[in-house]
Amino acid sequence: MKWYQSMIKRVLNGIILFLLPVFLLLFILGKAISIVQKLILPIKKYLPAERVFGVGLLTLISLVLILFICYLAGMLIEQKRVKWLIAKLEDNILVFIPGYSMIKAQTSEIVSEAAAHWQPVLIGEDGDWKMGVLVDQQPDGLCMIFFPEPPDAKQGEMKLVHESKLKKLDMPVNKMIRIIRKYGRSEGAFFSKDEKI
């Protein structure tokens, strides 16, 4: 790959995988604050004009209200019907957002270890070992493996591999992603002491 192709690829990765999600998040948060402020506008005349931590009281109340709505949404997501609906939404729409599945796996691992169903694995190929993530396993022993590529670990390739060729790693997905982002540098002891390849 020529240097300018590599540069263009990195610029596009930065736009699609970093800037786009950040700006989208900021845009949605800005719109949410604007909508909530319109709803609570009638109480504005009763609020003092003072600022708290440099933020207007109306904006602060809007943020607290948004956090409360998010808390209620978190309670709602625990319901079986809502989980089913979200699963359908993810399978049919959200799967097309670049890096969505990897980001979801990492964030769900932060919130709850039990929520993260992805498993880091090693795959033996021609005497070498390659790190991957076990995404799905079929009853016949075939496994869908995602091989993240540095530096962002959101891109990579998918392979269908038989479970007999896999070695499961005793580590969380986010640690494996850190190893990949550093190109394996300074992570020599990433296996537990009792693990042998």
In the block, residue with structure tokens 């596009």: 12
DSSP 19: I
Residue 52's pLDDT is what?
Answer: 67
Residue 28's pLDDT is what?
Answer: 83
Residues 166, 122: contact at Cβ < 8 Å? yes
**Exposure string (b/e) for 88-100, b if CB count within 10 Å is 16 or more?**
eeeeeeeeeeebe
Higher pLDDT pick, 135 / 3 = 135
Tell me the average pLDDT across 50-65. Answer: 76
Residue 115's pLDDT is what?
Answer: 36
Task: Tally the residues of the chain.
Answer: 197
Is 105 a residue whose pLDDT tops 80?
no
CATH of the domain spanning 100-197: 2.30.30
Distance in angstroms (rounded) separating the CA atoms of residues 99 and 115: 18
Domain assignments of the chain as residue spans, ordered by start: 3-98, 100-197
Residue 133's pLDDT is what?
Answer: 86
| Residue pLDDT, tens place only, 146-167 | 888 877 677 778 888 888 888 8
Tally of CA atoms within 13 A in the half-sphere of 142 that contains its CB:
5
Tell me the average pLDDT across 24-37. Answer: 82
Tell me the average pLDDT across 79-86. Answer: 81
Give 3-state DSSP helix, strand, coil % of the chain, rounded to 5: 55, 20, 25
Is 95 a residue whose pLDDT tops 60?
yes
Mention every residue, 6+ apart, whose C-beta is less than 8 A from residue 83.
77
Residue 197's pLDDT is what?
Answer: 46
Residue 88's pLDDT is what?
Answer: 81
Mutual angle of helices 57-76 and 20-39, in 10-degree steps = 110
Rg of the chain in Å (alpha carbons): 22
